[in-house]
Amino acid sequence: MIVNETHLRRVLTTFLEHYNQERPHRGLDLNIPVPVALGHQRSGEV
């Protein structure tokens, strides 16, 4: 049960993080919409 606006925002943030960063999507060949950071960045000239 959502008790107030602050709680609603916390619940929605948690859901969106799960939906976009953890849950695989069939339309994306079971990938996630937001790719996971690999822990390193490319370097060099662009």
- The Cα 8–Cα 10 span in angstroms is 5
- The Cα 12–Cα 4 span in angstroms is 12
Number of compact structural domains in the chain: 1
Is 3 contained in some domain? yes
The pLDDT, as a whole number, for residue 40 is 45
Each residue of 1-46: pLDDT tens digit? 999 999 999 999 999 988 888 888 888 888 887 876 554 455 556 5
Is 40 contained in some domain? no
Is 15 contained in some domain? yes
The pLDDT, as a whole number, for residue 11 is 98
Domain enclosing residue 19, as ranges: 1-33
Is 41 contained in some domain? no
The pLDDT, as a whole number, for residue 38 is 52
Is 5 contained in some domain? yes
Is 38 contained in some domain? no
Structure tokens at 41: 């960045």
What is the per-residue DSSP string for 1-46?
Answer: ---SHHHHHHHHHHHHHHHHHTS-BGGGTTB-SSPPP-S----S--
The pLDDT, as a whole number, for residue 23 is 86
Is 9 contained in some domain? yes
Structure tokens at 29: 């060949």
